[in-house]
């Protein structure tokens, strides 16, 4: 089902590449263009068939696009977004795929204020992998995964409807909320688990890792994620992550305190409460 004529993806790594593959797989656009920083990545994306054509030039890439997706690391979104905004056709919609929203949306809406005929809507498709690069992109990455689309007072109703329909067509379970609500919830269910996983992997002496099994494997999987990409995410959602961290620290300290006291009943109670929450999570059924 054709939703757009030309979709341009700026930044074609794991996420951008998976978006491209999904669009082509579902026939959602006549043409998918990629915009790259490096010729080598452009060649890899073409080889992986994640895009129909590519360019190193944003101006050229966005020409004629009715949907532009910014799929770079968070800090680069406003930088490439500024260029995209400048050269986009009148009526074009710009969205992104960044993990933090208040920071991105505020910057993008400021830029959009100077181009009334181009619309920005923030998005966060909550799928991904600890692996980086277009080689790992797949056409079903967004199938069944949560996808948050943000609404603010400046959001154009026609644009947000189209962006929501787009992610839904990619298989996402779309939720609309404010950038602030997004950042608060996602700091808890995504950013904090990453912070904790990095801390775990970092703390364990290398010589002991040979004894590690499935528990370590899963608990630290996301610690293999790209450090720069995650430093960006942490810093653009600093306040919420620190608040989320305090909630984690408190639960952790309470278990450790019960452990120090030898309080078996207290430990069981806290582990049971944790288990009952974890058992409610069902997304894991997807493999």
Q: Does 108 help bind its own copies (rule: CB under 8 A)? A: no
CA–CA separation, 160 vs 175, rounded Å?
11
Number of H helices, E strands in the chain: 12, 9
Q: Does 129 help bind its own copies (rule: CB under 8 A)? A: yes
> Considering beta carbons, is residue 113 or 271 the nearer one to its own copies?
271
CB of 24 to its own copies, least distance (A): 23
Q: Does 209 help bind its own copies (rule: CB under 8 A)? A: yes
> Considering beta carbons, is residue 40 or 260 the nearer one to its own copies?
260
Q: Does 175 help bind its own copies (rule: CB under 8 A)? A: yes
193: left (phi over 0), alpha (psi -120 to 50) or beta: alpha
Q: Does 186 help bind its own copies (rule: CB under 8 A)? A: yes
Q: Does 212 help bind its own copies (rule: CB under 8 A)? A: yes
By DSSP bridging, strand 93-96 and strand 4-10 are unpaired
* Extended strands (E) in the chain: 4-10, 29-35, 53-55, 67-70, 93-96, 119-121, 123-125, 146-150, 173-177
Site pattern 35..54 for its own copies (x: CB under 8 A) = --------------------
> Considering beta carbons, is residue 79 or 242 the nearer one to its own copies?
242
Among residues 168, 213, 240, 243, which is the contact residue for its own copies, using CB under 8 A? 213
Q: Does 148 help bind its own copies (rule: CB under 8 A)? A: yes
Site for its own copies in 188-207 (CB under 8 A): 188-190, 192-206
CA–CA separation, 241 vs 195, rounded Å?
9
Q: Does 76 help bind its own copies (rule: CB under 8 A)? A: no
Q: Does 185 help bind its own copies (rule: CB under 8 A)? A: yes
- Tell me which residue has tokens 């009526």: 91
Q: Which stretch binds its own copies (CB under 8 A): 7-15, 48-56, 106-114, 253-261?
A: 253-261
- Over the range 45-65, which residues count as b (16 or more CB within 10 Å of their CB) and which as e? bbebebbbebbeebeebbeeb
């Amino acid at each position: 089902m054709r939703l757009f004529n030309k979709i341009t993806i700026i930044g074609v790594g794991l996420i951008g590449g998976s978006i491209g593959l999904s669009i082509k797989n579902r026939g959602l656009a006549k043409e998918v263009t990629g915009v790259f920083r490096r010729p080598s990545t452009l060649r890899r994306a073409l080889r992986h068939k994640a895009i129909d054509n590519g360019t190193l030039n944003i101006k050229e890439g966005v020409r004629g696009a009715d949907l532009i997706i910014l799929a770079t690391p968070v800090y680069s979104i406003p930088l490439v977004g500024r260029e995209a905004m400048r050269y986009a056709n009148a009526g074009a919609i710009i969205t992104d795929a960044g993990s933090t929203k208040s920071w991105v949306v505020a910057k993008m809406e400021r830029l959009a204020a100077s181009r009334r005929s181009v619309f920005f809507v923030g998005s966060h498709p909550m799928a991904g992998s600890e692996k980086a690069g277009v080689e790992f992109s797949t056409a079903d990455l967004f199938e069944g995964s949560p996808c948050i689309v943000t609404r603010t007072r400046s959001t154009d109703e026609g644009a947000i409807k189209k962006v929501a329909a787009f992610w839904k067509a990619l298989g996402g379970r779309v939720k609309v909320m404010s950038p602030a609500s997004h950042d608060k919830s996602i700091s808890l269910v995504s950013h904090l688990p990453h912070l904790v996983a990095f801390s775990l992997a970092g703390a364990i002496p290398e010589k002991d890792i040979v004894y590690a099994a499935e528990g370590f494997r899963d608990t630290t999987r996301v610690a293999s994620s790209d450090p720069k990409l995650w430093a960006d995410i942490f810093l653009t959602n600093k306040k919420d992550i620190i608040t989320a961290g305090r909630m984690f620290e408190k639960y952790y300290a309470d278990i450790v305190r019960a452990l120090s006291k030898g309080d078996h009943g207290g430990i069981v109670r806290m582990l049971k409460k944790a288990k009952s929450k974890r058992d409610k999570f069902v997304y894991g059924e997807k493999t």
